[in-house]
Amino acid sequence: MVEETAVALIEQELNGIENLLYMDSASEQNLGTNYPDFPGGTNLDLASVETQNRIKRAEPRLPEEARRLGITVTKSARIS
């Protein structure tokens, strides 16, 4: 339940990031994941910073367990 709550809150906060195409989310066994997808050519450094900023805004509303365990933002580029 905690991971579902945290994933939903972060997903809500990430909506509206510039160039965000869509977002996949998943949660299981104390691990929640949001996968925002940006079009090719998007500056992933800027997208990552904006994602981190929005997560910071959401942190006070996250369940205590999620804040205690921490949130990690990583960036990756899909190779097609």
How do residues 35-72 score in pLDDT, each as one tens digit?
Answer: 899 998 899 889 999 999 999 999 999 988 888 888 88
The pLDDT-based confidence of 1 (bands split at 50, 70, 90) is low
Tell me the average pLDDT across 8-19.
91
Encode 29-64: b = buried (16+ Cβ within 10 Å), e = exposed: eeebebebebeeeeeeeebbebbeebbeebbeebee
Single pTM value for the model: 0.79
Using a pLDDT cut of 90, give the percent of the chain over it: 36
